[in-house]
Structure 1
Amino acid sequence: MRITVLGAGAWGTALARMLACRGHDVTLWDYFPATLEAIARTGQNERYLPGIELPTGLRLEPDAGRAVDGAELVVVASVSRAFRTVTQCLERFTGVVVTVTKGIEYETGLTMSGVLRETAPRARVVALSGPSLALEVARGVPTAVVAAGKDAEATRQVQMLFHGPTFRVYSSSDLLGVELGGALKNVFAIGAGVCDGLGFGDNSKAALVTRAIAEMRRLGVACGARAETFSGLSGIGDLMVTCFSKLSRNRQFGERLGRGESVDQILATMTAVAEGYPTARSAHALARRLEVETPIIDQVYAMLYEGKDVRQTVQDLLSRESKPED
């Protein structure tokens, strides 16, 4: 199959590598031509996947129009803040578009599939999400994810395309729920990282993650998703790996915040985007719009955008009125 991957970050590169190694004709595009030039020169994406050799048959194309031309399936792996701009090249595309970007557009409250309904109106959209650290996938570590879409045929096609010996793909018809789980978990992972940075123990993080599940489900259902989706791979599964893994950029972001670094310092020195940072702003606005109680999201937002002291944030969460567990 002729496949184009838009975005040569860690996740886009890992998926392009996996598909190319299975014999597909894969083209990789990135917004920054220098990224593709470095890959061509070294045979690796040293910034995002150091030590991982890329197949020689992987084609690199700096022009988005040419990259998409002739593709039967497109994988969009750009950062969320650039997603709408990047996908403008799909206006006339009629094949399947797979979004692997986890985020919520601030201005509209749309998930990435919602953005694609506007930028790629003729495409059939499927989201691929779940606990899938890019470096582990590139190394062939056994991984399970979920493909979700409203078009059953397209969803099945994506499931079969990506499914392999070390990459198990389940399916779901709850596109919105799968996307929201993948986006919101990044916000909670920043909070989990703050716990690490402050030197708290496993009790603290387990409590935060458990309450995050309830909060994720509450907001997701208010948006129209199914409650049970958040008990699956794109909900609890992705939340666990992002909150606990040392490889998680969002957890790292929170840990540095908990150790006393400022948001500006962290943003200036991170080698890759922590999607929880923009998503905290989007999720906070979405929850206010829907009048949903989201205490963890609110406190992470306050730390990131209002300069709230991290220890005061924890104190405010702990001092909330006792209530039944939901």
Structure 2
Amino acid sequence: MSIAVLGAGAFGSALAVALATRGPVTLWGRATGWGRENPRLPGVTLPDAVTVTGDLPQAARADTLLLALPAQKLGAFLADHAAHLDGKTLVSTAKGIDLTRLTGPSRLIASACPAATIAVLTGPSFAADIARGLPTALTLACADPGRGKALQHALSTPVLRLYRSSDVTGAELGGALKNVIAIAAGTVIGAGLGDSARAAIITRGFAEMTRLSARLGARPETLTGLSGLGDLMLTCSSVQSRNFRFGHAIGSGTDFDSGTTVEGAATARAVTRLAAELDEELPIAAMVARLAQGAVSVENAMEHLMNRPLKEE
């Protein structure tokens, strides 16, 4: 099985490094003039088994294409390049909900590339850890059990362990929604509200994640696995998480690099609109959407959440 990673950001480059221990990998990106060291992944040199190219048709000749692209850019990429992608096995690593269509990556791919086999690779992971060869476990979700098993074996390495699932919807929703809660957790810590408050946000945020995911057809057990609870724990507790750092900047009133992709900010807006359509109440996600847009202060957001009607857990 030949493999290419489309998207030469930190995560795409890290996946290429990890998969190169199994054999040749092609890494495609629009700007790849940095040679063997991606500035987004400092201290990591791409092994010789990784071929870096800016030629998409060349990269797309591989049997399996990992789409390591931001969630809000995936739709446009698919629209531009569907002719090169359709009929392939396409594995999305995006963690978000498209703002325009209010859907996850798998449906965007299915719409643009109806003949493709679709899978989702997600779970608790930082690019730097994967690139350094640190032990990492992820979820690989594919509705086709046979293809899912083949991908599981092809993409696993001695330090990158993949667990298989057929619940594509649950896997990608877990990865998307946890980013929203990570912003909330970062805000709590940045504002100096303490670890007890963070624990409450994580717990009640997880309840929102599971409630919305169930409405959209996900299996509850998927959300308690790596792609849901596992990823939530990681992103809500580490400054390596861009979503957590973004929330921390909001809470502390400090500047944040506007050039850094924060998937949870756009996803919070998409989730709020989706919840309204479903008549589903998601107070934390709704407040994160407002905080990310500067529409409410941290003090007012916390006051609103703490003064909601008392109820059973």
Q: Structure 2-normalised TM-score?
A: 0.96
Determine whether 1:308 maps to 2:304: no
Query: Deviation of residue 271 (structure 1)?
Result: 5.0
Correspondence 1:107-256 to 2 at 5 A: 107-256=100-249
Task: List 4+ stretches of structure 1 deviating above 6 A.
Answer: none
Question: Aligned residue for 1:27?
Answer: 26
- Cα distance in 2 for partners of 1:4, 1:145 equals 19
Secondary structure, in 3 states, of the residue corresponding to 2:20?
A: helix
Query: Deviation of residue 306 (structure 1)?
Result: 5.1
- Cα distance in 2 for partners of 1:28, 1:142 equals 22
Query: Deviation of residue 87 (structure 1)?
Result: 2.4
Answer yes or no: is the 8 Å Cα contact 2:78–2:112 preserved in 1.
Answer: yes
Answer yes or no: is the 8 Å Cα contact 2:269–2:286 preserved in 1.
Answer: no
Q: After superposition, what is the alpha-carbon deviation per residue over 1:147-185, rounded to whole angstroms, capped at 9, x for unaligned?
A: 111111121122111222211111111100100000000
Query: Deviation of residue 226 (structure 1)?
Result: 1.3
- Cα distance in 2 for partners of 1:93, 1:27 equals 18
Q: Judge which range, 222-231 or 178-187, deviates more.
A: 222-231
Secondary structure, in 3 states, of the residue corresponding to 1:125?
A: strand
- Cα distance in 1 for partners of 2:241, 2:2 equals 31
- Cα distance in 2 for partners of 1:177, 1:188 equals 16
Determine whether 1:320 maps to 2:308: yes
Query: Deviation of residue 93 (structure 1)?
Result: 2.9
- Cα distance in 2 for partners of 1:114, 1:140 equals 32
Question: Aligned residue for 2:5?
Answer: 5
List runs of 5+ in structure 2 lacking aligned partners. Answer: none
1:72 corresponds, among 51, 63, 78, to 63
1:298 corresponds, among 286, 291, 297, to 286
Query: Deviation of residue 90 (structure 1)?
Result: 3.4
Question: Aligned residue for 2:43?
Answer: 51
2:74 corresponds, among 83, 104, 120, to 83
Q: After superposition, what is the alpha-carbon deviation per residue over 1:189-227, rounded to whole angstroms, capped at 9, x for unaligned?
A: 000000111112211111110111110000111111112
Query: Deviation of residue 281 (structure 1)?
Result: 1.0
Secondary structure, in 3 states, of the residue corresponding to 1:110?
A: coil
Secondary structure, in 3 states, of the residue corresponding to 2:25?
A: strand
Count of aligned positions: 311
Answer yes or no: is the 8 Å Cα contact 1:177–1:226 preserved in 2.
Answer: yes
Answer yes or no: is the 8 Å Cα contact 1:28–1:59 preserved in 2.
Answer: yes
Q: After superposition, what is the alpha-carbon deviation per residue over 1:279-312, rounded to whole angstroms, capped at 9, x for unaligned?
A: 1111111111111110100110111225210111
Correspondence 1:252-271 to 2 at 5 A: 252-261=245-254, 266=256, 269-270=257-258
List runs of 5+ in structure 1 lacking aligned partners. Answer: none
Query: Deviation of residue 45 (structure 1)?
Result: 1.0
Letter in 1 for 2:17: R
Secondary structure, in 3 states, of the residue corresponding to 2:33?
A: helix
Q: After superposition, what is the alpha-carbon deviation per residue over 1:14-51, rounded to whole angstroms, capped at 9, x for unaligned?
A: 1011112321x2111123x2xx101x1xx2112x2110
- Cα distance in 2 for partners of 1:162, 1:65 equals 22
- Cα distance in 1 for partners of 2:242, 2:142 equals 27
2:33 corresponds, among 32, 37, 47, to 37
Answer yes or no: is the 8 Å Cα contact 1:104–1:283 preserved in 2.
Answer: yes
- Cα distance in 2 for partners of 1:314, 1:157 equals 47
- Cα distance in 1 for partners of 2:126, 2:294 equals 30
Letter in 2 for 1:206: A
Answer yes or no: is the 8 Å Cα contact 1:104–1:279 preserved in 2.
Answer: yes
Letter in 1 for 2:121: L
Answer yes or no: is the 8 Å Cα contact 1:125–1:154 preserved in 2.
Answer: no
Give me the CA root mean square deviation: 1.3
